[in-house]
Structure 1
């Protein structure tokens, strides 16, 4: 068993988990945060992407105990509750989802991608960086369009500030 303490979506939590508990299962089963999806359990699909200490991580490849002492952000914590995060809003506006299974992981990966490229993104970069996220429904066109729109909007906000 492993003792852990972490901050999840701004809330400090402590507990004990089996040593082998993956972060994705801890978030879903222990914390009830089911927006983080289990797709492949092999880090191939990206449905489980969350942020750990500000960086995108496939939570099916990380033990919950490894996240102890960290700040974890899931799709549920991305917006402030009053309005959608700009990436969420762009996915909605540009129809960047169909079944929605991959969407939380895509949004979390996109948010990290935009953070790492504050000057903005181009289509080639977005497509290359999305290689670790699989969508079986949309063909990626609207996902890419949504990420580019969110990147532009967020770069504009940064320049205005």
Structure 2
């Protein structure tokens, strides 16, 4: 059974402002530089009208993983990730290179009083006997932390642009 991934972030900025950031190439460059982690990079970015597709590669260093995980992946985890936005809704997928692990779900951006709300609803599935749940828990913890940092980054980036 998959491990759920749920996150809700709030911004002082409107959903329209957040959407505008998502449609700005500099936003993605700044975000990956500031919160992407070691060796993080943008693989591709396509912006057409209200649709944005970004492919990123992020890592979880071995020092941030439990020993059961580093026994299998001693160099840490490399995670290719794709977000596709159309207007206020999107999808995301991520996988772990060299491991039967997948993260997927939906993204929603809505107005919330004087600001906006960003909701991630997904699941993490690692098909490795005995260690799958430990790896799922490590991915969930790291992704949850990353989502918090990304939401804070977006709010700060919008305040300064």
Name whichever structure is richer in helix by fraction: 1
Answer 1 or 2: higher relative contact order, Cα 8 Å, separation at least 6. 2
